[in-house]
Amino acid sequence: MEGQIMTTKTKLIELPFDQYQRYRDVQEIADLARDKKPLKVLDVGGHPGIIKEFLTKDDTTIVDILPCDTPNYIQTDGSNLPFEDDSFDFVCSLDALEHVPPGNREKFLSEMMRVSKNYVVLICPFHNENIKLAEEITYEFYNKTFSAPLTVLGEHLQHGLPELDETKKIFEEKGMKPSIIPSGYLFSWLPLQIAKIYVQSLPDSKQLNAMIDKFYNTNYYELDHKEPSYRKVFVASKKTKNILSKVEKRFAPS
């Protein structure tokens, strides 16, 4: 379901649609946050470093528990970041919180806020019955198609998805009331996941899969920020409160 690091904008548009959406969301938010100078960015749980291909203007560090030889990559636990307070302008985490055991999630979020001097962006799916069922369908279809588990979604099902209200409360208790944006229209997300799994089962289908993603990313990204959504985008700031209205305007349904 996930792609590797790409090296050109042409290839970025061929990333798996589910991956492209969240990195493009961060790119759009960073473009609104950047004030005529590069941002110092931290991506928590960002293996293998795809974010660098989207934030080419910025100085980006990636941390993850997995090893990787990407420059400015540190193998470490997001719940215990090896940085001083206020070390980064912009701290983000994309589809990582749901892989963190529930007992560590508050610490994970608190660490993101601690090391950020201003912006915090959290992108991930949150629990509700429709999303849970959509993931279960995707997991079962993959398993039936390939006679193997889909590890990424297996971790979601094992840990359970984060709770939206609990996460919002953690932000608010830190004085960072977030703007929350829907991303990844669920009624497109599920059928496209099923279609792509089927295409993957066909011989010599790599190019076809990339073509499907390119078509979707080119034509549907702007239409995908509406409810019901597969994931939510939390945007919060310690200093620049007008970023919230800018983000809401940027992602308002067209």
- Chain segment 64-110, per-residue pLDDT in tens: 999 999 999 999 999 999 999 999 999 999 999 999 999 999 999 99
Q: How far apart are CA 240 and CA 254, in angstroms?
A: 25
Tens digits of residue pLDDT in 4-28: 444 455 589 999 999 999 999 999 9
Tens digits of residue pLDDT in 198-252: 999 999 999 999 999 999 999 999 999 999 999 999 999 999 889 999 999 999 9
Q: How far apart are CA 235 and CA 247, in angstroms?
A: 8
% of the chain at pLDDT higher than 70: 96
Q: What burial letters (b/e) apply to 141-165, b meaning 16+ CB within 10 Å? A: bbeeeeeeebebbeebeebebbeee
Domain ranges of the chain: 9-126+162-185+222-250
Q: Classify 9-126+162-185+222-250 by CATH class.
A: alpha beta
Angle between the 151-159 and 129-146 helix axes, to the nearest 10 degrees? Answer: 140
Q: How far apart are CA 226 and CA 153, in angstroms?
A: 22
What's the predicted TM-score (pTM) here? 0.95
Instruction: Estimate to the nearest angstrom the gap between the alpha carbon of 86 and the chain centroid.
Output: 22
- Hey, what long-range contacts does 61-70 have (CB within 8 A, 24 or more apart)? 61/88, 64/96, 70/5
Nearest in space to 59 (alpha carbons), one of 44, 37, 81, 80: 37
